[in-house]
A = this chain, B = another copy of it.
Amino acid sequence: MGGTRAAVVVVGSEILLDGREDTNGPLVEETLRREGIQPDLRIVAGDDPSSLGAALRAAAARADVIVVSGGLGPTFDDVTREAASEALGRPLRRSAELAAGLRERYARRGLAPVDSVLRMADLIEGAEPLRNAVGSAPGQFLAGPPVVALLPGVPAELEPMLREEVVPRLRRLFRLAPPSRAVFKIAGRYESQVEGALAPLMKSWKDVDATILASPGEVMLILRAAARDAPALESAAASVRAALGGDIYAESEVGLETAVGRMLAAARLTLATAESCTGGMLGGMITSVAGSSAYYLGGAVAYAGRIKEGWLGVPAETLARHGEVSPQTALAMARGVRERAGSDLGLAVTGVAGPGGGRAGKPVGFVCLAVAAPWGPGERTFSLPGDRATIRLRSCRLALDLLRRVLLLPRGEG
């Protein structure tokens, strides 16, 4: 899939010394992959010339494209220009035009730029400046070889410069044909089940790469092929659709809460939730979608048993006979919240999230889900693997998936 090889260098002592998260490396790599450029090394270096120099030399020895983020500002610890100049063996030249722009910018605030600020006008020999629409430090682009892009480290500055300035130049230089790509979001199946379903198909795929990324309660499948292999990709995608059918809830990178929200909005149906072991997470997930007030009315978090009885009207007899975690209680919760909220649909979760509270027949991970709908109820019971956080997240996703499947049923009159 493409012979153009990239190295991404992230300048950030705060990542190595303070444990801050590196978000620039993954962002740059995803952008490059989508253009058909293969990331080959990611190096996080400190902002001293020695560490950064070692990173840049290792990158320059291998890569066709080097993207560097960070270290372009005006302070003493911004040394990316100097380190890149030395590693590439190209001197720095001060751009009169950039320097004039900086002087003007400072003059507007009644200031004169000190010399360390004017270093932002120093370009690696042969490089052109890249416009920074957000901040003051310009980027740099060297047509190479190797191609080198120096970008600011602030994500809000890096992202538009990468997209608007770097990608178009890379496309021109390498005559890139971005790979074809298909995305499937799958719910209600474990990663191993998806793998099992795909294994026989994959044997017949040629020139199509498949990646499975799993998180609790959902699986994402990405197919990639070179642009010229688009027909092979489409045929592989068709076989995925045939094999996974209704387990696929979207063919784009949306979450279940968004996909189900769109279904509710399109059908003009309203929803209320009743949660026990998830404690509000399900409602939190549903309302993470902007505009969810169009279909979500609210919910009850019934953590204590007497709240299930008092707020949701779960009969004391049901609780006593079947227990707080039971399909019967889940169904009574879904019906109760639907009635009390006056919504079209009620969705309920009750379960044992652990680490304590498990017992014979109802171990940690035992979770009951229920939907109350005018066209009849739906319910499912699971034994879920994982720790408390995983069981809770998986429960929310499976509840949304159950609701999705109920919404796909033929709807009689209630």
Q: Interface with B: A95-103, A146-154, A197-205, A303-311, which one?
A: A303-311
Whether the pair A213, B281 counts as a contact (CB closer than 8 A) is no
Whether the pair A275, B279 counts as a contact (CB closer than 8 A) is no
What B residues does A301 contact at CB under 8 A? 273, 280, 283, 287, 298-301
- A62 shortest CB reach to chain B, Å: 5
> How many chain copies?
2
Distance, CA A335 to CA B292, complexed state (A): 26
Distance, CA A268 to CA B55, complexed state (A): 56
Interface assignment of A288: CB less than 8 Å from any CB of chain B: yes
What B residues does A252 contact at CB under 8 A? none
- A220 shortest CB reach to chain B, Å: 10
**C-beta contact mask, A58-70 vs B, less than 8 Å → 1, else 0?**
1001100000000
Whether the pair A296, B284 counts as a contact (CB closer than 8 A) is no
Q: Which residues of chain A from 306 to 338 have a CB within 8 Å of any chain B CB?
A: 306-307, 310-311
**Partner pick for A17 among B17, B38, B282, CB 8 A cutoff:** B38
Interface assignment of A44: CB less than 8 Å from any CB of chain B: yes
Distance, CA A392 to CA B284, complexed state (A): 9
Whether the pair A340, B356 counts as a contact (CB closer than 8 A) is no
Interface assignment of A354: CB less than 8 Å from any CB of chain B: yes
Q: Among A42, A291, A292, A304, which residue has the most Cβ atoms of chain B within 10 A?
A: A42
Distance, CA A379 to CA B279, complexed state (A): 23
Whether the pair B304, A292 counts as a contact (CB closer than 8 A) is no
Whether the pair B41, A44 counts as a contact (CB closer than 8 A) is yes
**Partner pick for A280 among B30, B287, B342, B354, CB 8 A cutoff:** B287
- A338 shortest CB reach to chain B, Å: 13
Whether the pair A55, B29 counts as a contact (CB closer than 8 A) is no
**Partner pick for A303 among B42, B46, B282, B298, CB 8 A cutoff:** B298
- A231 shortest CB reach to chain B, Å: 23
Q: Among A33, A291, A304, which residue has the most Cβ atoms of chain B within 10 A?
A: A304
Interface assignment of A144: CB less than 8 Å from any CB of chain B: no
What B residues does A213 contact at CB under 8 A? 18-20
Give the residue name and chain of the B residue nearest to A14 (CB).
B211
Interface assignment of A118: CB less than 8 Å from any CB of chain B: no
What B residues does A310 contact at CB under 8 A? 340
Distance, CA A211 to CA B50, complexed state (A): 23
Q: Looking at chain A's contact residues, is the secondary structure mostly helix, strand, loop, or mixed?
A: mixed
What B residues does A41 contact at CB under 8 A? 16, 43-46, 51, 54-55
Whether the pair B356, A211 counts as a contact (CB closer than 8 A) is no
> Given A288-B279, A388-B290, do A16 and B30 touch, yes or no (CB 8 Å)?
no
- A68 shortest CB reach to chain B, Å: 14
> Given A19-B30, A20-B213, A222-B18, do A389 and B288 touch, yes or no (CB 8 Å)?
yes
- A15 shortest CB reach to chain B, Å: 7
Give the residue name and chain of the B residue nearest to A27 (CB).
B19
Give the residue name and chain of the B residue nearest to A281 (CB).
B284
Interface assignment of A278: CB less than 8 Å from any CB of chain B: yes
- A277 shortest CB reach to chain B, Å: 8
Instruction: Name A's B-contacting residues (CB within 8 A).
Output: 14-21, 25-26, 29-30, 33, 38-46, 50-51, 54-55, 57-58, 61-62, 211, 213, 222, 273, 275, 277-288, 290-293, 296-304, 306-307, 310-311, 340-342, 354-356, 388-389, 392
Which 3 A-B pairs have CB atoms at the shortest separation, nearest pair first?
A280-B283, A279-B287, A280-B280
Can you pick out 18 interface pairs between chain A and chain B where the beta carbons lie within 8 Å of each other? A17-B33, A17-B211, A18-B222, A19-B211, A54-B58, A58-B58, A278-B287, A280-B285, A287-B303, A288-B389, A290-B354, A292-B303, A296-B303, A297-B303, A300-B300, A300-B301, A310-B340, A311-B311
Known: A16-B41, A279-B284. 14 other contacts (CB 8 A): A14-B211, A16-B38, A16-B39, A17-B39, A41-B46, A41-B54, A42-B43, A54-B62, A273-B280, A279-B288, A296-B303, A298-B304, A300-B300, A311-B311
